Each structure stands twice: as C-alpha cells, then as structure tokens.
Homo-oligomer: A and B are copies of this chain.
Amino acid sequence: MTRILFAVVTIVFLVSCNNINFEKEPSSKYVLVIHGGAGTILKKNMTPEKELEYRAKLEEALLTGGDILSNGGTSLDAVTQTIIVLENSPLFNAGKGAVFTEEGVNEMDASIMDGFTGSAGAVAGVRTIKNPILAARAVMEKSKHVLLTGKGADEFAGKQGLEIVDSNYFYTPNRWNSYEKAKAKRALENEKHGTVGAVALDIYGNLAAGTSTGGMTYKMKGRVGDSPIIGAGTYADNNTCAVSATGHGEYFIRNVVAYDIAALMKYTRVSIKEAANYVILDKLKKIDGSGGIIAVDSTGRFTMTFNTPGMYRGVITSDGLMEVKIFSE
C-alpha cells in the first residue's frame, strides 16, 4: 500500500515537474527565430544591393545560432550569439547601428530571459557597452538584479570584463543622417523600428528570448522603450513560449505584449499563432501600435507576426528549414 502511494506521489511529482527537464532525454529538435526590426520596409524603397546585404546578415545570424543549437548548445547561448551578430552590424538599430537620441548620443537597451529558470536580465540607457545583450546576460547571471540602468549598468558591465568602447564606435553615417533629419523636424523618427531579437528552443526543450535596441531616433534623453522590459519586449517560459518584440515601444509597454501572448496561451489554451495574431493584428493594430513579434513555443511551433509593411526576420530549424524574409507576403 505504502509502495503504491509512493509510486503515485512520484508520478504526480514528475508530471508536475514537466517543465523541469532533468528527466527528459535531449531530442534533436531545435528552432531559432530572429528579427531585425519591423516598420515601413517596402520593396520599392530597397535597392537590390541593400536587400542582399540585409539577407546575408540575417542568414549569418541564423547560421551562428543554428550551429550552436545543432551542436547541443543552449537556447540562451544561441540567442546571445545570434544577437551579437546583429548588434555588430551597422544595418540594424542595436549595438554598432544604434540610432541617436535628441542629444546626439546613443543610449541602448537590451534584455534576455531564460524560460527554464524564469531568470532574466536587462540593461537600459547604456552608452559604452559594445554588446548590450552581453550586459543583460551578465545582469541575469552575475547580479541579484534584473534591470540596471544608465551609468550603473555601464560600470557593472565594465567590472564584469565586457568590452567597453568609445562612443565613436556607435557612429554610423546613416544613423547620423536620420538624426539630422529628425532634429530639423524636431520630431521622433517613428517609421522604422530596427530593434533586433532572437528566440530559441534547444534540444533540451528549453526556451530563451532576447532583444536589443538603440531605441528611437531623436528620443528624449533617458527614454526607455519596451526592449529591456521583461513582459513587454521580451519574455520566456518553458510552459508557454519565448517572445521578442519590435515596434513602437510605448504601445508595447502599455499592452505588456510579450507576456500577454504567453498569458493567452496559458490561460485560454490558444496556439502561439492565435495568441500572436490576437495581440499584434487585433489589439495593437486597433490602437495604431505598430510593430511585430517573433515567438516559439516549447513544442517548436513558431510565428513571426507583424502589423507593419515589413519585418526583417528569419528562422532556422532542425528539420532543415532556413528562411529569411523582409516584406509581408
């Protein structure tokens, strides 16, 4: 009798631990989805050369993360290294290609979340860290905090041995031109949201999500969007999904976009696609909240959903799918 009771208790315990994967055999299934920003990205405004450049960089990012996942690396590592490729490119509004604030400086935000442990890290308003996503990860792994802002975050990254660069590193002629234009109009440049992000499922069944951005051109000093906000720009939970967002950050914060998709899956049992469609194409669209998300669930289903004319995006999976897209279909 005691034995039967013990067996029942053990089974109940194991079932209730289904999100803790210690008893799961690694599968060979993995998925990596990335974005490089959503907005008014139209074929007619793109030269063939520019389009090739974007496609090549998105592919490089996918292959970097895909390699990590296919070699048994974690979703956290895949997300981190994939985002570093995009941060190091001047094409995207993150790291090297970050846009300029009202003051003509770069203030960057990034965050990362581990769907297995529920831990998270983020930095906001950093000015000297070459790869803000690494700083977000250091906050998660090396501090007791989730969100560090401003100089405190820059100093923390330095102490953790992360690469600190001169502010000149972030100068790119393209972004400076956008800044000059915005300054002349004295208005935010709202048309394109070049935030980058990645979400991944690894062969251990663990999810992770990360996002990195330079924010909006001509944004006010100290303005922070949704990218470093857990629940708004980034969210991951093995029980539901991993999400990274890009768009008009204020709308994404107020609508708690990333977590709302997870909450819909958890509480109403809809699929990841249905949840994303409702939040991005219905809720946000109705209130002119432009942007999109990428998301992957714990079974490997994924979605790239946006309400703008285009979103730089791509996916690579263990099934051999590898796809890069820019415009809406």
Hey, which bits of chain A sit against chain B, CB under 8 A? 113, 118-120, 124-125, 143-153, 155-156, 188, 219-225, 229-232, 235, 249-250, 253-256, 259-260, 263-264, 267-268, 287
Contacts and interface: CB of A to CB of B under 8 A. Distances in A.
B118 A254 contact: yes
A220 B263 contact: no
A118 B288 CA distance: 13
Contact of A232 (B113, B188, B231, B254): B231
Q: How many copies of this chain sit in the oligomeric assembly?
A: 2
Contacts of A268: 267-268
A222 B146 contact: no
26 contacts: A118-B287, A119-B254, A124-B224, A125-B149, A145-B250, A146-B250, A147-B224, A147-B253, A148-B220, A148-B222, A149-B149, A149-B222, A149-B223, A150-B150, A151-B221, A152-B223, A155-B221, A156-B222, A229-B229, A229-B230, A230-B232, A230-B253, A230-B256, A259-B263, A264-B267, A268-B268
B256 A147 contact: no
Nearest to A260: B263
A321 to B, nearest CB: 31
Nearest to A102: B152
A118, A232, A256, A264, most chain B CB atoms within 10 A: A256
Contacts of A224: 124, 147-149
Nearest to A103: B152
A223 B148 contact: yes
Given A149-B150, A229-B231, 19 more contacts: A124-B149, A145-B219, A146-B250, A146-B253, A147-B223, A147-B224, A148-B222, A149-B149, A150-B150, A152-B221, A152-B223, A155-B221, A156-B222, A230-B232, A230-B253, A259-B259, A259-B263, A264-B267, A268-B268
A174 to B, nearest CB: 23
A188 B232 CA distance: 27
A143, A146, A188, A264, most chain B CB atoms within 10 A: A146
A86 B190 CA distance: 38
A263 B287 CA distance: 19
A267 B283 CA distance: 14
A75 to B, nearest CB: 17
Nearest to A248: B144
